[in-house]
Homo-oligomer: A and B are copies of this chain.
Amino acid sequence: MALIARTPEPPYVAVIFTSIRATAGDEPYDEAGYAATAQRMEELAHEQPGYLGIESARNPGGLGITVSYWATERDAVAWKAVAEHLVAQRLGRERWYSQYRTRVASVARDYGA
């Protein structure tokens, strides 16, 4: 089961990716390909320099939010440019998402329990 990312003391970088899936009635839809790619991207992110963690949630059939955490802005930019990730981004734009937004943010403070 997905857990809350164990990020270090701030500052660090958060990339907030919010998306709405294309609906099952749309063509091409490719649910299996989507799930496999999403999992592969999490594994691939984990191998990148500066990776700190990832959190992901999706309402059934609706909006999804994935937040990946990085040591520096440079690390976040480098992850966006990884070749296999570029292919996944293209498929996301062309096939899987009807709408999305990516926000790059600097985390100044955090707290929790």
Question: Would you call the interface of chain A mostly helix, strand, loop, or mixed?
Answer: strand
Q: Are A102 and B110 in contact (CB under 8 A)?
A: yes
Contacts of A3 in B (CB 8 A): 20, 63
Q: How many copies does the complex hold?
A: 2
**Given A62-B57, A65-B57, A102-B112: A4 touches B20 (CB 8 Å cut-off):** yes
Does residue A59 face the partner (Cβ distance < 8 Å to B)? yes
Q: Are B4 and A105 in contact (CB under 8 A)?
A: no
Q: Are B14 and A16 in contact (CB under 8 A)?
A: yes
Complex Cα distance A57/B105, Å? 19
Q: Are A104 and B99 in contact (CB under 8 A)?
A: no
Does residue A30 face the partner (Cβ distance < 8 Å to B)? no
Does residue A32 face the partner (Cβ distance < 8 Å to B)? no
**Given A57-B58, A57-B59: A18 touches B67 (CB 8 Å cut-off):** yes
**Given A14-B16, A18-B55, A93-B113: A63 touches B103 (CB 8 Å cut-off):** no
